Amino acid sequence: MTFDWPTALPLIFAGLMGLAILIYVVLDGFDLGIGILFAAAEDEEQDTMIAAIGPFWDANETWLVLAVGLLLVAFPMAHGTILTALYLPVFVLLVGLILRGVAFDFRAKVPAGRKHRWNRIFFLGSATASLAQGYMLGVYVLGLDVGPGGMAFGALVALCLSAAYAAMGSAWLIYKTEGDLQRKAVRWLRTTLVLTALGMVAVSLATPFASPRIFDKWFLWPEIFYLSPLPIVSALLFLWLWRQTFHLPKPNDQHAIRPFLTLAAIFALGFAGLAWSFYPFVVPDRLTIWQAASAPESLAVILAGTVVVLPIIIFYSFYAYRVFAGKATDLTYD
């Protein structure tokens, strides 16, 4: 096979977009999850929880802008098709993101009596945004089916993705906090893990049975053999993490970041499975990545910049996380 840019560029951009979505889901997943867990936390715990995500959430959400941006700039046809089909869920997502984003700042700056109100808004916004993302994932998985069946399935995935985000949030809190809150986070993790597993099973089963094309990609020999590690490794990681929740926190708080990394790995495996199912379509069974792509010369211009800038972004993102490494302390502006 000879290498030619018009074929390769849409593929590269699909990969980049997938990477951006995955990073977004993992990173904003934990701070959305912490917003959901707000409902179960005491007042002073909430301040610590905010301190655990305060310096990061802005950059985390930027990955969503990059993912949507890449969809917008690399696959303009798909951007329009997907977003007009999901008009109302997208709107709900945006309202949720707006509310939680500003609540972050307002809760710290309003007179003390009003703080409670913004804490509630922070929870509501986080929960709404997570539910909307799950709903969209469910509808997308069934090929943008917005009939009653699609909506019911969307509702199920909405619940499970929110639980998965809450699990990410719990795992992040295990890493970033100590004492009572940390022990509480371990219990939260155990509870939310059940729904997370249920959601992944539901999506994994629904995807092949909703589309014969996807069924053939998974269950024909030899594909079924090559692909079997995906579900098996995911299941093993789940089991291991479940057992861990009975032994956390470890003496001297060793390996506190492991639950988070394990969950991130599970997310990555699940995401890889979805990517395999839908390839080469960007709008399921309607538009392939090549049909939806921008002109090669425009993609080349973006790629040139991406190749230079993306490593720098990843480098300074790591740096920002390192500056605020360790257990979260109260956030002050000084």
Partner 1 sequence: MDPLILSRIQFGANISFHILFPAITIALGWVLLFFKLRYNATGDSAWMRAYFTWVKVFALSFAMGVVSGVTMSFQFGTNWPGYMETVGNIAGPLLAYEVLTAFFLEAAFLGIMLFGFRRVSNRVHTLATVLVAGGTTVSAFWIIALNSWMQTPAGFEMRDGKAHALDWWAVVFNPSMPYRLVHMLLASGLTVSFLIAGPSALRYLYGDRSESMWKALRTGVFTAAILIPVQIFAGDQHGLNTLEHQPQKIAAMEANWNTGPNVPLVLFALPDEQAKENRFEIAIPDGASLVLRHSASGVVPGLNDYPGNHPPVFPVFWGFRIMVGTGILMLIVSWSAAWFLKRRRSLPKPLALIMVPMAPSGWLATLAGWYTTEIGRQPWLVTGVLKTADAVGPVAGSHVALTLAVYLILYVLLLLAYLGVLLHLALKAAKDGDTSPLPGVMNAALSQPAAGE
Q: Enumerate binding residues for partner 1 (CB under 8 A).
A: 54-56, 58-59, 61-62, 64-66, 68-74, 76-77, 79-84, 86-88, 90-91, 93-95, 97-99, 101-102, 104-106, 109-111, 294-295, 297-298, 301-302, 305-306, 309-310, 313, 316-317, 319-320, 323-324, 331-334
Q: Using omega within 30 degrees of 0 as the cis cutoff, is the peptide bond preceding 212 cis?
A: no
Q: Report, in Å, the least distance between residue 185 CB and partner 1.
A: 22
CB of 144 to partner 1, least distance (A): 13
Q: Which is nearer to partner 1, 54 or 270 (CB)?
A: 54
- Closer Cβ to partner 1, 206 or 310, answer by number: 310
C-beta of 268 vs 302, nearer to partner 1: 302
Name which of 96 and 199 has its Cβ closer to partner 1. Answer: 96
Closer CB to partner 1, residue 11 or residue 237?
Answer: 11
Q: What SS3 class is residue 332?
A: coil
The burial class, CB within 10 Å (0-12 / 13-18 / 19+), for 250 is exposed
Nearer to partner 1, 102 or 257 (CB): 102
Distance from C-alpha of 325 to C-alpha of 56, rounded to nearest angstrom: 11
Cβ 114 to partner 1 shortest distance, Å = 9
Nearest approach in angstroms of CB 24 to partner 1 is 12
Of the CA atoms within 13 Å of residue 299, those in its CB half-sphere come to 25
Instruction: Of 199, 197, 206, 276, give the one whose Cα is nearest residue 234.
Output: 197
Token pair belonging to 202: 């539901």
Q: Smallest Cα–Cα separation from 184: which of 331, 4, 37?
A: 37
- Of 158, 159, 123, 125, the C-alpha closest to 41 is 123
Q: Look at the alpha carbons of 170, 54, 90, 307 in this order and tell me if their dihedral is positive or negative.
A: negative
Three-state secondary-structure class, residue 145: coil
- Minimum distance, C-beta of residue 72 to partner 1, in the bound complex (Å): 6
Other Cβ atoms less than 10 A from the Cβ of 27: the count is: 24
Closer Cβ to partner 1, 87 or 246, answer by number: 87
Instruction: Give the shortest CB-256-to-partner 1 separation in angstroms.
Output: 20
